[in-house]
Amino acid sequence: MNKRTLVFFIPLGVALASIALFFLAVVNAWFGPAVGTGGAFCEASREGLIKQPANTWSNLAFVIAGLVIAWQLSKDKFSANKNTITQSFFYGTFFACVVILLGPGSMAMHASEASIGGFFDMLSMYMIASFAFAYAVERFYQLSVVQFLLIFSVALVSCILIQDLPYRPPVVGYMGNLIFAFYILMTVVFELLNGYVRKLTQDKKLGYASLGTLLLAFLIWNLWQDDSYLCDPQSLIQGHAMWHILDAVAAYFLFRYYASEHQETATHEK
């Protein structure tokens, strides 16, 4: 089995294993007792194994997005663009796996409403923010894989440590959301530096599409919480489920933005 084939089969294995572990954890109550974690996002808690079905199953959008990314990379769909994510076995595979894990991570919270489920939900968010930040820095400074992993790990650990600080920030309401937003902002800054300083050229429309979809998802996230005029706790049409689906779309647009990148040459410069 060559590396191009593994680019798909490793994420596929991660998807199958993580979903299987999710089901085992739910059936065997490994997440612990339901304490209302994630209960502020409108959907009422149901009886049975899956407490919030709409907010749980909508996370499969992340699994689908990650597998589509892996499949396209394995088929060399964007190989004409010479960049890190299309040419490197490691980065493409790693990114696809991170996107996939957003699904079971969030499913753990919404299915169980347990504290441990909430931890996995936030951990998956921190992973995608840490990847985006570390990957932007890696391309700016032209770092090695080891250096990328160090930055990724430091960002991830900092998120975990900061999330429990006893402060409730406005708008986002939770320090974990604030540090997530911080790394997204720093990613945007370094992506701008990659364009204007490093002269890396991408399809900017895809970058704007990713950021715009994320902002739309965040707007829906804010408008569709408990006690909002849009909230219908018994409905299977849930704004938070839309947030999950839009975030998966944003992750795919982010991949397409990465995959469109090439180095600007002297002949293209004015």
pLDDT tens digits along 58-72: 999 999 999 999 999
Determine the pLDDT at residue 265.
53
CA 268 from centroid of its chain's CA atoms:
34
Determine the pLDDT at residue 227.
83
CA 220 from centroid of its chain's CA atoms:
17
Determine the pLDDT at residue 269.
36
Determine the pLDDT at residue 4.
79
- Tokens matching residue 88: 């490197």
CA distances from 259 to 54, 86, 88 (A): 32, 6, 11
Determine the pLDDT at residue 123.
95
Determine the pLDDT at residue 174.
78
Determine the pLDDT at residue 71.
96
State the Cα–Cα distance between residues 26 and 102, nearest whole angstrom.
17
Determine the pLDDT at residue 267.
35
Determine the pLDDT at residue 168.
80
Helical H runs in 37-163? 53-57, 60-74, 84-87, 89-112, 115-141, 145-162
Report, as ranges of residue numbers, the positions in the chain whose pLDDT lies below 50: 266-270
Determine the pLDDT at residue 5.
87
Burial (CB < 10 A; 0-12, 13-18, 19+), residue 232, is middle
State the Cα–Cα distance between residues 79 and 244, nearest whole angstrom.
29
